[in-house]
Amino acid sequence: MNENWQSFAAIAVVLITLVLFAVRAAKRRKKPGCGGGCGCVK
């Protein structure tokens, strides 16, 4: 029985981590140009 809940917990941790990486990658793509601060005209 102990291994069963541990398997579900491990899968949940992996899924949460994947969602967080996807959210961070999506936020990174939305920045126009270089992200500012470099003095470019974009």
Render pLDDT for 1-42 as a digit per residue (tens, 0 to 9): 566 899 999 999 999 999 999 999 888 766 566 666 666 665
Give the span between the Cα atoms of 3 and 34, in whole angstroms: 47
34 belongs to a structural domain:
no
- DSSP at 35: -
pLDDT at position 28, please?
A: 72
Sign of CA dihedral 6, 7, 8, 9: positive
Domain encompassing residue 5: 1-29
Q: Model-level pTM greater than 0.95?
A: no
41 belongs to a structural domain:
no
5 belongs to a structural domain:
yes
Q: Domains in the chain: how many in total?
A: 1
Give the span between the Cα atoms of 11 and 13, in whole angstroms: 5
8 belongs to a structural domain:
yes
38 belongs to a structural domain:
no
40 belongs to a structural domain:
no
